[in-house]
Structure 1
Amino acid sequence: MPATRPAERGETYPVRNDRGDISLQFLALIRPALRRRDKERLTQLIKPLHEADVGDLLESLAADERSELVDLLGDDFDYMVLTELDQKVRARLLADLGPHAVADGLRKLESDDAVAVIDDLPPEEQRTVLDRMPLRDRIAVSRSLAYPDETAGRLMQREFVAVPPFWDVGRTIDYLRDDDDLPDDFYEIFVVDTRFHPIGTVALDKLLRRKRPMAINDIANHKVRSVRATEDQEAVARLFERYNLLSAPVIDDDGRLVGVITIDDVVDVIEAEAEEDIRRLAGVGRRESSEAIVSVARARIPWLLVNIATGFLAAAVIGLFDGTIEQMVALAILMPIVASMGGNAGTQAMTVTVRAIATRDIGSQRAHRVVGRELMVAVVNGSVVAVCVGAGAGLWFRDASIGIVIALALIITIFVAGLVGSFIPLILDRLKIDPAVASGVILTAITDVTGFFVFLALAGFWFGLL
């Protein structure tokens, strides 16, 4: 059921429809209030919503409506919403709002969220926003921005709770109650030594279950899973997945605690990296859905041009057997089946292998097992497909020889496709070339050329046409 929200005037309205999108009924309430510049009504409609709902609402509005809505809401607008927006939509909205309004809004955010928003601004506007932030927040955000993109340093928040090992439970609880600068959300307390190195963690539930005189060091978990600030965010996500972490301390090159990464940030990383792999596998790059048409087209054209080159290569192979095709028209009819089946089989093997590489499920010791397994699958699938297609082709053209030829061609082509689909991504990964981008082009070229050549060569020798 779509979510509904009660309004102060007694009505209920669906915020989202059955597909999970912002409903037309809700937009029909928002837009008239925007035209009237009715801040009270807009606040009444939007304030009860989660920031993710408000983010989707902003993306459903036109660009000028977004900035007008934020401007009308004023202090009632939660700048946490900006972290839920598509990157291009956020950048456009930030440009419309101006650096002064952005700086005022970001003061309420934790450092990791502020970094995510400021990162979309041009350098000169970043400096303007940072200059208007309180000194403590400015230092925290500036230090995070100094780390490379897509690293733990950019992902972490600098608000965390750290206590020395000699404190007891009672003192720690009193500290948590009295400190006004605690993070909005945290799951663990970090135990640090005199050099501020993390030596343990204490989960909040464990802290609350212990007697006040008990030493923090005695209840701490000393198996600390730390990540370096310069570590790639994909490696961080794998660490969280492998050890089922809720949070992890981030350390600098000297091993000092400088921040914390929480599971909500890691979920965003997993989603972003998965989307990136899917886009790159299709050869469309990392362009967002809101990117300009010209930019999207420019990113895709190179791969289409490469495919044109591979298409001419396949056509050249067919040209070698033009005489054979002229003497037996059935070959021209059946050729697409061979190439199509080889391409599909290779894509299956390639997708499994690329995904395993992306998730680091394949090590150097397991690579031969992956290739061997895909080859066995190719043999089984090739045999089944060959029998089905061979029987169909033989009955269609009333010639068992045609069925035998295409069956043999399919077995060989699907076997080669399985080999290429599993082996090429591993080679590219070893050569530090992104297999998600390059594998598809190489696979298409090899399976097409192999399929056409094997089928036409077999037919030529079988029927004595060469």
Structure 2
Amino acid sequence: MSTSDSAPLPAALSSEADLHEALGEDYALTPAFVARVIDAADDGDGLRLRGLLEDLHPADVADLMGFLTAEHRAVVVLWLPPDLLAETLPELDDGIREEVLERVPHGTLAEALQELDSDDAAAVVEDLEDDQRARVLAAMPEVDRAAIENSLGYAEDSAGRLMQREVMAAPQFWSVGDTIDHVRAQGEDLPELFFDIYVVDPLNRPLGAVAISRLLRAPRAAALTELMEPATEIDVSQDQEEVAYIFEKYHLISAPVVDSAGRLVGQITVDDIVNIIQEENREDILRLAGVSDEGRGDGVWNVVRSRAPWLTLNLATAALGAAVISLFSATIEQIVALAVLMPIVSALGGNAGTQGLTVTVRALATRELNRSNAVRTFFRELAVGLANGLILAPMIGVAAGLWARDAQIGLVIGAAMVLNLLVAATVGVLTPLTLSRLKFDPAVSSSVFVTATTDVFGFLIFLGLATVVLL
């Protein structure tokens, strides 16, 4: 923005000052800035909104959208410059992005998508309704439209959907000078982000990769084949979780993507992988708790609908625990202290089972646990459960004995504690291992099964021992 030396910067366009006030020391949007955006949206002051937003990073604009209501988002999105809108759309939560896309005219959206790499553009187009998708694609140049349609032709969670088709490749007979001259001549046609030049044969199959940093340090006459290093190729059909594992294991910055014939069709860069790793980790954490990925824009009914089925399942397992307790109602009537003490056994068993479950699920996700060390891991967790039981049993046994003034009650709860922690260690490891072997996601239903098992066996062991020993 340019202003004359004599004219003050208009208040509505003082974006630099606004930018300083937008972010706190923790890089989070300040409440004061969010309030200013809301006030401008309420007033319908488009110039003020543009001044507030145009210098924000797209990730901060996406974060801002999460703090606004649907009505305010509808106003704000209309005043985002096309280039900022383009870079913001891939950053938005899925639910908010779908809502925002409904508000953007198809011509504006088509213009914005042309600013994105093919992978990001495909991710946005995927969220469009069929009729809106057809209008947006029809308004785009043929080359951009073909790239997006090609990306959407791959499976949703595959490397083909994740990759960007924009890639820098050079024939094997080129020198460093040839390559540098070619890159400089590309101008706007260069990929937005790339780290390697892929050296290919006449059939467009990758032979190796030359890092940009190495290319720029080498003499112009040096041949690319002398500089290239082996490239870790990604098959276009590989699952994105598998791709993330490869990147993490081999510390990759980028990797070429090849089709079934081994031809170079695109590349995947580390910025995409960071998003995948975060997404997979978030899903696993949420699934362990029995909830879905709830965004800030989700309504009450959507949240209830995602949580209610798991709570219903928990209700069924709790009823099973209650049924076990009812089997020993006569014992409890004679020794009321048992009713006070039995939740301790089941609660500690549940916590111990969750600990073993969490460690096992993580080890499976990171490929640290497989057939070669599964038995060793199981017996290690069993030893941990036994050790914890032998530590906790005397503590709770002495306390319960003194409280109930009956040493036998202390012995019963101590023994029950040891046995239930062994059960917890067993199911905490075997449940996710079994689900994984059966090709089910171990993060989805393991926690419910582990908790139900430790509750049922906790009540059964404690009340069963009490019946045998005390009556």
Which residue does the alignment assign to 1:220? 228
Residue 318 (structure 1) aligned to one of 312, 316, 325: 325
Tell me if the contact between 1:37 and 1:72 (Cα under 8 Å) persists in the aligned partners.
Answer: no
Which residue does the alignment assign to 1:461? 468
Residue 335 (structure 1) aligned to one of 335, 342, 346: 342
Counterparts of 1:32 and 1:195, CA distance in 2:
59
2:256 partner amino acid: P
Alpha-carbon shift at residue 10 of structure 1 (Å): 6.0
| CA deviation profile, 1:275-303 (whole Å, cap 9, x unmatched) | 11111111113443433322332232222
1:198 aligns with 2:206: yes
Which residue does the alignment assign to 2:447? 440
Counterparts of 1:252 and 1:395, CA distance in 2:
72
Residue 381 (structure 1) aligned to one of 384, 388, 398: 388
Tell me if the contact between 1:249 and 1:261 (Cα under 8 Å) persists in the aligned partners.
Answer: yes
Alpha-carbon shift at residue 63 of structure 1 (Å): 1.9
Counterparts of 1:33 and 1:119, CA distance in 2:
32
2:212 partner amino acid: L
SS at match of 2:164: coil
Rate the CA distance shift 1:8–1:237 in 2: closer, same or farther, 3 A.
closer
Where in structure 2 are the equivalents of 1:175-254 lying within 5 Å? Answer: 175-180=182-187, 181-221=189-229, 223-254=230-261
Counterparts of 2:133 and 2:185, CA distance in 1:
34
Which residue does the alignment assign to 1:3? none
Residue ranges of structure 2 left out of the alignment (5+ in a row): 1-12
Which residue does the alignment assign to 1:84? 91
Rate the CA distance shift 1:11–1:158 in 2: closer, same or farther, 3 A.
closer
Rate the CA distance shift 1:9–1:308 in 2: closer, same or farther, 3 A.
closer
Rate the CA distance shift 1:77–1:36 in 2: closer, same or farther, 3 A.
farther
Residue ranges of structure 1 left out of the alignment (5+ in a row): 1-5
Alpha-carbon shift at residue 358 of structure 1 (Å): 1.8
Q: Mean alpha-carbon deviation: is it higher for 20-29 or for 113-122?
A: 20-29
Counterparts of 1:39 and 1:429, CA distance in 2:
53
Counterparts of 1:118 and 1:73, CA distance in 2:
19
Which residue does the alignment assign to 1:71? 78
Which residue does the alignment assign to 2:9? none
Where in structure 2 are the equivalents of 1:12-31 lying within 5 Å? Answer: 13-17=20-24, 20-31=27-38
Which residue does the alignment assign to 2:6? none
1:57 aligns with 2:60: no
Alpha-carbon shift at residue 38 of structure 1 (Å): 4.2
Counterparts of 1:74 and 1:299, CA distance in 2:
36
Which residue does the alignment assign to 1:303? 310
Counterparts of 1:151 and 1:185, CA distance in 2:
21
1:188 partner amino acid: D
Tell me if the contact between 1:70 and 1:77 (Cα under 8 Å) persists in the aligned partners.
Answer: no
| CA deviation profile, 1:203-225 (whole Å, cap 9, x unmatched) | 0010001101111111000x211
Counterparts of 1:11 and 1:54, CA distance in 2:
13
Residue 129 (structure 2) aligned to one of 114, 118, 122: 122
SS at match of 1:365: helix
2:205 partner amino acid: H
1:265 aligns with 2:267: no
Length-normalised TM-score, structure 1: 0.94
Which residue does the alignment assign to 1:430? 437
Tell me if the contact between 2:14 and 2:51 (Cα under 8 Å) persists in the aligned partners.
Answer: yes
Alpha-carbon shift at residue 265 of structure 1 (Å): 0.4
- Percent of residue pairs bearing the same amino acid type: 46
Rate the CA distance shift 1:283–1:227 in 2: closer, same or farther, 3 A.
same
Rate the CA distance shift 1:404–1:20 in 2: closer, same or farther, 3 A.
farther
Alpha-carbon shift at residue 77 of structure 1 (Å): 3.4
Rate the CA distance shift 1:288–1:150 in 2: closer, same or farther, 3 A.
farther
2:385 partner amino acid: A
2:216 partner amino acid: L
Tell me if the contact between 2:83 and 2:112 (Cα under 8 Å) persists in the aligned partners.
Answer: no
| CA deviation profile, 1:230-269 (whole Å, cap 9, x unmatched) | 1111111111100110001111111111110000000000
Counterparts of 1:13 and 1:203, CA distance in 2:
37
| CA deviation profile, 1:306-359 (whole Å, cap 9, x unmatched) | 222211211111111111111111111101001101101101001111111122
SS at match of 2:198: strand
Which residue does the alignment assign to 1:157? 164
2:462 partner amino acid: F
SS at match of 2:133: helix
SS at match of 2:79: helix
1:348 aligns with 2:348: no
SS at match of 1:199: strand
Counterparts of 2:87 and 2:111, CA distance in 1:
13
Tell me if the contact between 1:195 and 1:256 (Cα under 8 Å) persists in the aligned partners.
Answer: yes
Where in structure 2 are the equivalents of 1:397-412 lying within 5 Å? Answer: 397-412=404-419
Alpha-carbon shift at residue 87 of structure 1 (Å): 0.7
SS at match of 1:157: coil
Rate the CA distance shift 1:9–1:160 in 2: closer, same or farther, 3 A.
closer
Rate the CA distance shift 1:424–1:35 in 2: closer, same or farther, 3 A.
closer
Where in structure 2 are the equivalents of 1:353-368 lying within 5 Å? Answer: 353-368=360-375
1:216 partner amino acid: L
Tell me if the contact between 2:83 and 2:115 (Cα under 8 Å) persists in the aligned partners.
Answer: no
Tell me if the contact between 2:19 and 2:55 (Cα under 8 Å) persists in the aligned partners.
Answer: no
Q: Mean alpha-carbon deviation: is it higher for 374-383 or for 68-77?
A: 68-77
Q: Mean alpha-carbon deviation: is it higher for 101-110 or for 290-299?
A: 290-299
Counterparts of 1:289 and 1:349, CA distance in 2:
31
Where in structure 2 are the equivalents of 1:278-293 lying within 5 Å? Answer: 278-293=285-300
Rate the CA distance shift 1:123–1:32 in 2: closer, same or farther, 3 A.
same
Which residue does the alignment assign to 1:95? 102
Alpha-carbon shift at residue 33 of structure 1 (Å): 3.5
Alpha-carbon shift at residue 367 of structure 1 (Å): 1.1
Which residue does the alignment assign to 2:5? none
2:352 partner amino acid: A
Counterparts of 1:9 and 1:219, CA distance in 2:
45
Length-normalised TM-score, structure 2: 0.93
2:371 partner amino acid: S
Tell me if the contact between 1:14 and 1:23 (Cα under 8 Å) persists in the aligned partners.
Answer: yes
